[in-house]
Amino acid sequence: MIQESARSGIVQKDKETVALIPEIKFGMMTPEDLEKLASVSRKYEIPIIKITSAQRIALVGVQPEHVESIWDELGMEPGHGLGTGLNYIQSCPGTSVCRLGQRDSLEMAERLYDTIKPLGLEVKLKIGVSGCPLQCGEGAIRDIGVFGKKATGWTIQIGGNSGLNARVGEVLATDLEDDILVETILKLLVYYKENMKPKERMYRFIPRMGGVGEIRKAIGLE
């Protein structure tokens, strides 16, 4: 039996092949990344190459004996495609190229990644970052969502979910400048880590702790 992990891959329907998901932060890639993905896909005759909802590229139908060679040739780290931990941070282009962008969502996504990854959260965590209220980063249906307005700053929403228990996140804080936004999310996640039940997603955690208002008090927002 194939043992699933981010590195060994996700077992597919045929129970004989796996999907590998390289880490592609916020959907940003270089020509060299694309060339490596194309090269291994041809060499190992990977039948399906799929863009995922997490802004990554899944190599589907990989033979298990090819897994380590593929990782070596890609020179990329595995993405967190299953299990617990920071699953992904999704981001829109923000002010880098989008004519509607009001805040630099890509830079903020990177700051949040560098802040959150070391926490070692033992729960699946999905984050969406958007540079304007249109929310192309889909933060409203993520555990934590962030969107920016040029004049007033960032808004944080928490507790969104896109699964069977679909719901829109609730507003935790508004009008935050960059440093305060990062500091607030860090406080939230430290509180979450210290008080959550095993593998308890944010949308279940919030009502158990008494709602967003009680969480605001607990992390010093009120």
pTM for the predicted model, two decimal places: 0.91
Beta-bridged to residue 126, according to DSSP, are 88
State residue 83's pLDDT score: 62
State residue 105's pLDDT score: 98
CATH number of 85-218: 3.30.413.10
Annotate the chain with DSSP letters as a single string: -PPPBTTTBEE-TTSS-EEE-B--GGG---HHHHHHHHHHHHHTT--EEEE-TTS-EEEEEE-GGGHHHHHHHHT-PBP--SSSEEEEEEE--GGGT-TT--S-HHHHHHHHHHHHGGG--SSEEEEEEESSTT-TT-GGGSSEEEEEETTTEEEEEE--B-STT-BPPEEEEEEE-HHHHHHHHHHHHHHHHHHPPTT--HHHHHHHTT-HHHHHHHTT--
Delimit the domains of the chain by residue range.
10-74, 85-218
Q: What does the pLDDT profile of the chain (222 residues) look like in tens digits?
A: 677 888 889 899 999 999 999 999 989 999 999 999 999 999 999 999 999 988 999 999 999 999 999 999 999 989 876 667 888 999 999 999 999 999 999 999 999 999 999 999 989 999 999 999 999 999 999 999 999 999 999 999 999 999 888 999 999 999 999 999 999 999 999 999 999 999 999 999 999 999 999 999 999 998
